[in-house]
């Protein structure tokens, strides 16, 4: 399979909760909205969602409680049976898999971390981390070696014989992450994994998570209701409302060009200057001269140079030094001063 092909591909996915959801969906009038569906006695957990997740990408799904984000991720792993549409993992239709093949897929390719840590209280850190390998039938020596490896990776070396009750909340969450990493998953599903932690520990876990992702390059679907967390972590953000994806785009495009009024309201309190990069404002048709600014730098990071630099147009360069276009200084200052539309 081509590396350019999406790892997860969902097309027109529906998940309806109710008495006879497949029959209802087949006969549902065109244009029926969330409230119409509810009036008919059904709940649209996921409403006609089409989305791809690329290899090595971190897609953050966010929305308010009840928006459908957790339901969608459970559809990706077939913890929920979908009502309509298709979901493919590496080109394979997961709805067509037998129970045995589905279990094999989850055990070999998918890691899952949820808000509740789900640790086994009577088992040590080492035993908790090794547990999925035990379920896989791996021998004692090799699963111990792998468990020790990932325990070190998440910074818990020296606590292998501790029990969950002897650990802080942040340390317990690290055990949950280590346990999901033990099977070396290609795809990692994380459902609000840090929301139960206090703000300081949460920030530390985000830093740790970014470090791990930089090392491991997993394909990740991460659920959160915290927009600041999404902005820190995401390659792309999908914002959900009433079971549907309102917009899926890069963080800077989400805040610069909200696709709907709901997304605009969702993002209106965000300081755009710390999200929008020079690359997002670069126009390939503008040929600017002189010193360049890095495409990956945020407007907030460039604030001092933008104030001092009197050029109307500033060249923007990629990491390798290639000039990708010119940025209008006035547009950058508008973002910095909060005047960007």
3-state secondary structure (DSSP) of residue 189: strand
Scanning 154-260, the segments in alpha helix (DSSP H) are 169-181, 199-216, 227-233, 251-256
pLDDT digits (tens, 9 = 90+) for 177-222: 888 888 888 899 988 888 777 787 788 878 888 888 888 888 999 9
Task: State how far the Cα of 150 lies from the Cα of 241, in Å rounded to an integer.
Answer: 36
Task: State how far the Cα of 288 lies from the Cα of 249, in Å rounded to an integer.
Answer: 27
Token code pair at residue 130: 């090794």
Which residues, in sequence order, are CB contacts of 194 under 8 Å at separation 6+? 173, 201, 202, 205, 206, 224, 229
3-state secondary structure (DSSP) of residue 282: coil
Q: Are 54 and 218 in contact (CB under 8 A)?
A: no
Confidence class for position 115, pLDDT limits 50, 70, 90: low
Task: State how far the Cα of 4 lies from the Cα of 319, in Å rounded to an integer.
Answer: 21
Burial readout 86-102 (b: 16 or more C-beta within 10 A, e: otherwise): ebbbbeeebeeeeeeeb
- Determine phi and psi for 239, rounding to 5 degrees: -100, 125
CA atoms within 13 A on the CB side of 134: 11
Domain extent listing, the chain: 49-270, 273-336
Confidence class for position 61, pLDDT limits 50, 70, 90: very high
What pLDDT is stored for residue 340 in this prediction? 56
Name the residue with tokens 């920030």: 203
Instruction: Report the pLDDT averaged over residues 117-129.
Output: 90
Name the residue with tokens 């690329």: 54
CA atoms within 13 A on the CB side of 34: 13
What pLDDT is stored for residue 11 in this prediction? 97
Name the residue with tokens 């089409």: 50
3-state secondary structure (DSSP) of residue 86: strand
pLDDT digits (tens, 9 = 90+) for 314-323: 999 999 999 9
Instruction: Report the pLDDT averaged over residues 130-141.
Output: 88
Domain 49-270 has CATH 3.40.50.300: yes
Q: Which of 86-95, 302-311, 332-341 shows the lowest mean pLDDT across its residues?
A: 332-341
3-state secondary structure (DSSP) of residue 221: strand
Residue 227 has pLDDT above 80, yes or no: yes
What pLDDT is stored for residue 116 in this prediction? 63
- How many other CB atoms sit within 10 Å of the CB of residue 116? 10
* Superfamily of domain 273-336 in the CATH hierarchy: CBS-domain (3.10.580.10)
- How many other CB atoms sit within 10 Å of the CB of residue 258? 20
Q: Is the pTM of this model over 0.75?
A: yes
Instruction: Report the pLDDT averaged over residues 107-133.
Output: 86
């Amino acid at each position: 399979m081509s590396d350019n092909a999406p790892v997860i591909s969902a097309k027109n996915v529906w998940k309806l909760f109710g008495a006879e959801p497949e029959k209802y969906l087949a006969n549902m009038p065109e244009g029926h909205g969330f409230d119409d569906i509810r009036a008919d006695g059904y709940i649209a957990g996921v409403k006609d969602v089409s989305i791809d997740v690329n290899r090595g990408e971190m897609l953050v799904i966010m929305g308010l409680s009840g928006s459908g984000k957790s339901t969608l991720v459970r559809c990706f792993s077939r913890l929920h049976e979908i009502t309509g549409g298709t979901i493919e993992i590496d080109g394979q239709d997961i709805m067509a898999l037998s129970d045995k093949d589905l279990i094999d897929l989850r055990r070999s390719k998918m890691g899952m971390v949820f808000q509740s840590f789900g640790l086994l209280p009577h088992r040590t850190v080492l035993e908790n981390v090794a547990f999925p390998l035990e379920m896989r039938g791996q021998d004692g020596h090799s699963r111990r070696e792998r468990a020790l490896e990932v325990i070190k990776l998440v910074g818990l070396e020296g606590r292998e014989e501790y029990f969950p009750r002897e650990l802080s909340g942040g340390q317990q969450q690290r055990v949950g992450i280590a346990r999901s990493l033990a099977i070396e998953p290609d795809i990692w599903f994380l459902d609000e994994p840090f929301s139960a932690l206090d703000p300081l520990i949460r920030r530390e876990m985000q830093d740790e998570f970014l470090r791990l992702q930089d090392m491991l390059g997993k394909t990740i679907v991460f659920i959160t209701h915290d927009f600041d967390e999404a902005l820190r972590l995401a390659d792309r953000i999908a914002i959900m409302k009433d079971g549907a994806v309102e917009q899926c785009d890069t963080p800077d495009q989400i805040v610069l060009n909200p696709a709907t009024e709901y997304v605009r309201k969702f993002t209106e309190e965000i300081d755009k200057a710390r999200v929008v990069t020079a690359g997002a404002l670069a126009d390939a048709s503008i040929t600017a001269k002189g010193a360049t600014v890095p495409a990956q730098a945020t407007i907030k990071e460039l604030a001092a140079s933008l104030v001092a630099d009197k050029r109307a147009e500033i060249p923007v360069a990629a990491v390798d030094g290639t000039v990708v276009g010119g940025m209008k200084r006035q547009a950058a200052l508008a973002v910095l001063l909060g005047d960007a539309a």
